[in-house]
């Protein structure tokens, strides 16, 4: 890999790279950025590509070097500044070797609303703008954890109240919507607090309500699995997002999809400074 690195970038390339935090961009022969990375020490990080071995853990490095025609770099004052710049570049350029952070537009949100007869409207979407009539919460990171919790809530709410037949989702739409009638009037506020990571009270009330429902008692294992999905979402998504907002002083709600990763980077910086 040393020969390939020197042939493509020049034997003296590393000598031009500073030993400071920064961001580097790998470009192919057409000048297209195929990878963006950040480093605490740019020279040390790029030297790892030059010295990549044939071991499995270095496979991605070898493939990036093979794709490279040139490498550009930009020094930053701090590691935090480098992380924020890296995130912005990945979102803007969507390089083919970058996966994490490139698809923030897929981060999900959960919407709540009140129907005409006091029903609770529930929605799950990566494009909240499709339902501007709802109060949206998020954006969350994991579609799997968030989606499991959302559909668990729809099922359990349907056991407590009466779930309306869902309208067919339009082709190409990215929003799932449901409506449940005959629910306690405080559920909208309680579940809003739950989705904000402010209170688990909604989940506790749901457990109590399910105890009186024969449908829930018939299949306790399935009910418990759905309750576990909601608890997992609260710990891994709602609480973590609430903590990041608290540490950074972020007041916007919902947090825009494109800004979520930068929010967590700033939160890590705030946590480190506090320590």
Average pLDDT over residues 214-236: 95
Model pLDDT, residue 143: 94
**pLDDT score of 165 more than 90:** no
**pLDDT score of 130 more than 80:** yes
Domains in the chain with CATH codes: 2-93 (3.40.1440.10), 105-274 (no CATH)
Backbone angles phi, psi at 196, to 5 degrees: -80, -5
Model pLDDT, residue 57: 83
Model pLDDT, residue 48: 95
Q: What is the 3-state secondary structure (H, E, C) of 211-227?
A: HCCHHHHHCHHHHHHHH
Closest to 113 in 3D by CA, of 125, 100, 95, 97: 125
H helix and E strand count, the chain: 11, 8
Side-chain half-sphere CA neighbours of 154 within 13 A: 20
**pLDDT score of 167 more than 80:** no
pLDDT, tens only, 37-71:
999 999 999 999 999 888 888 899 999 999 999 99
Beta bridge partners of 112: 122, 135
Higher per-residue pLDDT: 104 or 35: 35
pLDDT, tens only, 62-99:
999 999 999 999 999 999 999 999 999 999 999 999 98
Rg (CA), the chain: 24
Average pLDDT over residues 226-254: 98
Average pLDDT over residues 144-160: 97
Among 28-37, 100-109, 127-136, 250-259, which is the least confidently predicted range?
Answer: 100-109
CA separation for the pair 133, 147 (Å, rounded): 21
Confidence of residue 118 (pLDDT cuts 50, 70, 90): confident
């Amino acid at each position: 890999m040393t020969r390939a690195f020197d042939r493509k970038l020049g034997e003296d390339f590393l000598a031009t790279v500073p030993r400071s935090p920064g961001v580097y961009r790998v470009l192919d022969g057409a000048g297209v950025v195929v990878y963006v990375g950040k480093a605490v020490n740019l020279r040390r990080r790029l030297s790892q590509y030059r010295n990549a071995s044939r071991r499995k853990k270095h496979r991605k490095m070898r493939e990036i070097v093979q794709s490279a025609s040139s490498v550009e770099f930009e020094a930053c004052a701090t590691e935090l500044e480098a992380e924020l710049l890296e995130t912005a570049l990945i979102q803007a350029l969507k390089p083919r070797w970058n996966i994490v952070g490139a698809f923030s537009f897929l981060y999900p949100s959960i919407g709540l609303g009140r129907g005409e007869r006091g029903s609770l409207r529930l929605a799950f979407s990566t494009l909240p703008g499709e339902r501007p009539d709802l109060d949206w919460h998020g954006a969350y990171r994991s579609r799997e954890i968030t989606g499991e919790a959302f559909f668990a809530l729809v099922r359990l709410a349907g056991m407590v109240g009466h779930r309306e037949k869902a309208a067919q989702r339009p082709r190409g739409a990215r929003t799932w919507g449901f409506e449940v009638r005959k629910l306690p009037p405080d559920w909208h506020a309680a579940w809003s607090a739950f989705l904000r990571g402010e209170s688990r009270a909604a989940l506790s009330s749901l457990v109590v309500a399910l105890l009186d429902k024969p449908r829930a008692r018939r299949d306790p294992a399935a009910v418990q699995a759905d309750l576990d999905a909601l608890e997992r979402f609260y710990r891994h998504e709602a609480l973590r997002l609430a903590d990041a907002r608290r540490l950074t002083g972020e007041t916007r709600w919902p947090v825009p999809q494109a800004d979520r990763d930068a929010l967590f980077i700033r939160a890590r910086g705030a946590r480190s400074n506090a320590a």
